[in-house]
Structure 1
Amino acid sequence: MRWVTFDCFGTLVDWRHGIANGADLLFPGRGADLLERYNQHEGAVQEQSPTLRYRYVMAEALRRAAADLGLTVRDDDASVLAAGIPYWPTFPDTRAALAELRAAGWRLALLTNCDRDIIGHTQRRLEVPVDAIVTAEDVGAYKPALEHFHRFRDSFAPEHWVHVAQSHRHDMVPARELGLTRVWINRTGEPDDGIAHAVRPDLRDLLATVRLVSGLE
């Protein structure tokens, strides 16, 4: 079987937009500042509490980000980010890329650092069926830990497997450790250290890229 696995938020769904706009609801005009601080805290919360559900990870990371800026998140406001996830937009290139892969015979899976109910809401935004999902809630860990990848491999034994993701730390590094074929969707223009088999700024030519790196042109 031919599989393409994806990280969801940041790769298919505009995670940065969602976090910034959710934070801006609480602190108007401060969403961008809070996003940057949030990025510095989320991974630490996940490492400290790998079995904590993602909605609570988000709440704690938001509290820490706000505290950095001298702001206080009230307890009854801490769920604002999780509450907004069903409305986070996909990137403009997402649906076409997924549809093209499916039409070409590739099966699609999501390996995502979130809860089952959250990814359930997000699927309606994708509008393209996926064949498998592995969440942090399923495996009791957050990437860059390897549990998502192990669960997927052990469940589906893919003959051809390409992993596609935006996060270098959470996805490209562990995928390299496991020897997976990997495509880095470098949406934010980070420096390329050469560990991915292909680097693209977006998903617009993903089918051709997957064919190329998999050797199945």
Structure 2
Amino acid sequence: MSHEARQARLRPTLISFDVFGTLISVRDSSYGAFERILAETGAHRVDVEAFWEHWEHRNIVHYCKPYRTYREICELSLEETFVHFGLTGDGRLINHYFDAFPRFFLYDDVVRTLDRLSRRYRLAVVSNIDDDLLALTPLQREFDLVCTAQRAKGYKPDGALFRYLIEHAGCAKEEILHVGQSQFTDLVGGKPLGLTIAWINRRQLALDDSVPRPDFIFADIQSLNDLVEL
């Protein structure tokens, strides 16, 4: 690599990460729980992936409303998704999803990438989650800063969670690099506040015309090794 290329690398003070979909493969990890939810509802012909995506869409809608816990939002969204698919089901079945958290799995590049970055940079997580649920996941490591919806009393994308990050980062927002996979929470929530964002497009999706443009686009988080100085 040339001297000029080395000079072009970023030197953030803090690198923050979305968790679900960026570090944890949440869809593949949780489809089994949703298959069980549908089975207990007698909805054997409903496509689990379509059901899951509608449920997640309803979650995002509720993130922009007055604060509720993540558990409450997920239960409400499940009830709404049952209605959308013409089903009769109990929202408390969402406990199958929460019970699956310890069995969720990290993407293959996560541990080695975070280990490498942590030698030089402060690391944070920024997650639409309750603290106790985050603690159940296999993301068993210490971060320099933990930003959850429970602590911020708000979510991405309405800005509350990113404002919490900025307020507690211990550095200027221009020194933060945020890394996330969601167009509709990470980009919509973070870019209007002036954050630098690397969009992790693991699923090779098209960037929606309605969302702010990311500063960088990568297929995985190990690509950050080529963006920042190490």
Fold match, TM over 0.5?
Answer: yes
Amino acid at match of 1:131: D
Distance 2:189 2:92 in 1: 36
Superposed, which structure 2 residues align to 1:1-217 within 5 Å? 2-28=13-39, 30-48=47-65, 50-74=66-90, 76-103=92-119, 105-122=120-137, 125-159=138-172, 160-192=175-207, 195-209=213-227, 211=228, 216=229
Kindly indicate whether the alpha-carbon contact (under 8 Å) linking 1:53 and 1:115 is maintained by their aligned counterparts in 2. yes
Give the structure with higher Rg (CA): 2
Distance 1:127 1:40 in 2: 28
Give secondary structure in 1 for the equivalent of 2:197. strand
Distance 1:200 1:148 in 2: 23
Distance 2:58 2:78 in 1: 8
Kindly indicate whether the alpha-carbon contact (under 8 Å) linking 1:86 and 1:118 is maintained by their aligned counterparts in 2. no
Amino acid at match of 1:81: Y
Alignment length (residue pairs):
208
Gaps of 5+ in 1: none
Amino acid at match of 2:167: D
Offset of residue 142 of structure 1? 1.3
TM-score by length of structure 1 reads 0.86
Distance 1:76 1:151, change over 3 A: closer
Amino acid at match of 2:159: L
Distance 1:66 1:188 in 2: 26
Distance 1:206 1:168, change over 3 A: same
Kindly indicate whether the alpha-carbon contact (under 8 Å) linking 2:63 and 2:158 is maintained by their aligned counterparts in 1. no
4+ long deviations beyond 4 Å: none
Kindly indicate whether the alpha-carbon contact (under 8 Å) linking 1:2 and 1:161 is maintained by their aligned counterparts in 2. yes
Kindly indicate whether the alpha-carbon contact (under 8 Å) linking 2:78 and 2:91 is maintained by their aligned counterparts in 1. no
